[in-house]
Amino acid sequence: MPMKITILCENSVGPLAGTLGEHGFAALLETGNGSLLFDTGQGETLLPNARRMNKNLHEVRTVALSHGHYDHTGGLWPLLRNCGGKEIHAHPDLFLNRYRLKDTGEKLSIGMPYRQEFLEGLGGRFIFNREWREIHPDVFLTGQVPRRNNFEKGESGLFCSTAGDCFADTHPDDQSLVIRTGKGLILLLGCCHAGIINTLEHARERSGTEEIYAVMGGMHLSFCGQGQIDETVKTLRRFAIRKLMGSHCTGFSASARLAREFPGVFHPGQVGFTLEG
């Protein structure tokens, strides 16, 4: 199946003049069977960047969300308002109240910025599921990713609340997009709170495909210690991935390390970066 992935929202921009950066992530998947949007960024750059790259988001009928943080879901409002109703695939925890605890003890809201009823009023049709499933021909959402290794510990200082109770947020809703191609699997990551190695192993197991052709998106290495980065690099070698594109929360230091460890394989995934398969 011919396909093309284009990064529409990311922290930094590539060489295409007139595009904008913001802290967040969104990527457009175009196939012979239609287009799918993975995440929506914060909401300031999705539509302007799509217009600059001549991408018609009116033609997108399906949106998949990696998790319920503002920098991946904030673009839903302008998308639905300007481009019509969409089918939105997400985990049931999408609308949890989420916070970052500041040094002062103050809670900074970092969750989904809109209520479900508001988005449904704009034509959003939510499909909630926590399991691995096919949402487009040869395109899958991982659902909840099992946390099996002992070095991908996630980020501390993040919390969520239900019914007045506040507890550490382990991001069980974190999920990634998996595309089956003739070259192997392509993984699109939002933030990969579940860990890139956990996610890769889950994708291979559930898809029945061993070969990983490409990994693209946020790897969440900017928020982890050196030990986790060392183990991640060491374990990544076993997968023999042919293309690594780090975006968003991968972080500058970790990206530099990956570029050094995987020369010719690693590339910064900026706004405008494309991958064809």
pLDDT in tens, 166-206: 778 888 999 999 999 999 999 999 999 999 999 999 999 99
Measured from the Cβ of residue 129, the count of other Cβ atoms closer than 10 Å reads 15
Task: Tell me the domains of the chain and their CATH numbers.
Answer: 3-276 (3.60.15.10)
- Three-class SS of residue 271? strand
DSSP assignment of 173-238, as one string?
A: T---EEEEETTEEEEEES--TT-HHHHHHHHHHHH----EEEEEEE---TTS-HHHHHHHHHHHGG
Structure tokens at 214: 């490409």
Q: Please, what are the averages of pLDDT over each run of 10 residues along the chain (277 residues)?
A: 92 95 98 96 98 97 97 98 98 93 81 97 98 97 95 83 76 96 97 96 97 97 88 95 96 94 96 93
Measured from the Cβ of residue 61, the count of other Cβ atoms closer than 10 Å reads 15
Tokens 């210690």, residue?
A: 225
Question: Measured between alpha carbons, how far is 128 from 110 in angstroms, rounded to an integer?
Answer: 21
